[in-house]
Amino acid sequence: MEKKGTILMRRYEIGRLLGQGTFAKVYHARRLASGQNVAIKVIDKEKVMRVGMIEQIKREISIMRLVRHTNIVQLYEVMASKSKIYFVMEYVKGGELFNKVAKGSLKEDAARKYFQQLIGAVDFCHSRGVYHRDLKPENLLIDENGNLKVSDFGLSALKESQRQDGLLHTLCGTPAYVAPEIINKRGYDGAKADIWSCGVILYVLLAGYLPFHDSNLIEMYRKITKGEFRFPHRFPSDVRKLLTRLLDPNPNTRITVEMLVENPWFRKGFKPVVAPAASESLSNLKDVISAFSIEINDDGRTQKAEMSEPMKPTSLNAFDIIALSPGFDLSGLFETGNREKQEARFTTQKPASAIVSKLEEIAEMEHFKVKKKDGLVKLEGSKDGRKGQLAIDAEIFEVTPAFYVVEVKKSSGDTMEYQKFCDQDLKPYLKDIVWAWQGEDQRQPPPLPPAPQPNLMSGPVS
């Protein structure tokens, strides 16, 4: 079904391969009825089920249906067969903006135009409660008319993903473009984090290289959190002032979109795009469900095929390891502090399913309610304590397929009751699966995989 010239679902003729990743391939295709050029993203169902990515793909479909804008790659329809999911998308002929920057810096007017279109698209996303969280030149495409198109919403979040504190907590993105508050793991405003990434992109467009660059990933994160970067001598003063406000490590004082569109440098030649009404964007969310519950055979017939996935741990990436470790030192995962204990961590070589089963057994014995979502298990007490019902979150992080870190912390209730529960119930019952608790002596854990190095465009700074 993926060979050139193959007819897909009696609607599309498959063309050349445009690109591929771990779970998907993207092909150029032609709509038979109209001759329209499209791009079709082909996702392997079995692979995404195996790694627990079904909910992420559902979210990506939902988000792409919400963000219909001139400067955003459009999703036309979603189809499914027994083994594949197909995203039929707008075909953007000009390729990635990254390819232009890789050849050197852009002229100021060209960089400004792309930046204006990027901000227009990002502002529209935010107005729909969508935060991209992986903005970078590789995810910005250029069409045949030279206009920018934002793509790849695979790491995006909806406003509904925010916790009670009104912030997002998932650590994700591309290291060189990620905002400092994401690295610090204290929760972050998705809109402010996106604006930081836009600031990095503007710097790259004008300079031809990254503002924060170091061959040592930890040192690069330190520079990001401190906001340490230099301007090339050729940058005019108004650009320097704007970038200083965009790359402000304090999200509370960082420039907002509302302030940005009033900036004189930004406003030069700015042509705002009129976006469609929200009701138009929400009309086709039904195929979020149909892609996972209905299969379309090549002959056009449909059949039901419900999909489900097992409990999956949170992937512990470079951001998590650094954020969990005081002083950017992995040994901090197992260090004790003088502060009042509100959280504890343990390591284990048992799979996520075994960890969850143990937590469910403890909950049943202690009459706790259990709620599970992604890599988070919530235990909620049925009785009121000194400060209301005790509630405990246990988040499972996968470091390698054979090594897990579990973070246990109180989300509500009395701290003394929480500590008593941990010492008298939780720790003794988990002893069969725990490698070591935080602060205890432990055997040498399995080696960590090498930290992924970002695709950096290095260059001289002055």
Give the count of alpha carbons within 13 A of 239, CB side only.
20
Which entry of 44, 109, 123, 134 is annotated as an active-site residue? 134
Lookup: tokens for 373: 């979502």
41 in a known ligand binding site? yes
Query: What secondary structure, in 3-state letters, does 154-206 show?
Result: CCCEEHHHCCCCCCECCCCCCHHHCCHHHHCCCCECHHHHHHHHHHHHHHHHH
- Beta bridge partners, 436, equal 347
Q: What are phi and psi of 211, to 5 degrees?
A: -75, -35
Burial, 321: exposed, middle or buried (Cβ in 10 Å; 0-12, 13-18, 19+)?
Answer: buried
Q: Identify each DSSP E strand in 229-328 by its residue range.
A: 294-296, 302-304, 314-315
Q: Is 214 a catalytic residue?
A: no
Residue type, 172: C
Residue 155 phi/psi, 5-degree rounding, is -105, 10
**Strands lying side by side in the sheet with 75-80:** 7-8, 12-20, 24-31, 37-44, 84-90, 75-80
* CA 53/CA 231 separation, integer angstroms: 40
β pairing state of 148-150 and 140-142: antiparallel
Q: How far is CA 321 from CA 190, 239, 360, 390, in A?
A: 21, 35, 27, 28
Give, to the nearest 10 degrees, the angle between helix 108-127 and helix 190-207. 170
Q: Residue 346 and residue 334: Cα distance in Å, rounded?
A: 8
Cα distance between residue 132 and residue 121, in whole Å = 10
Annotated binding site: 41
Task: Indicate which residues carry an active-site annotation.
Answer: 134
Q: Indicate the annotated binding residues for ATP.
A: 41
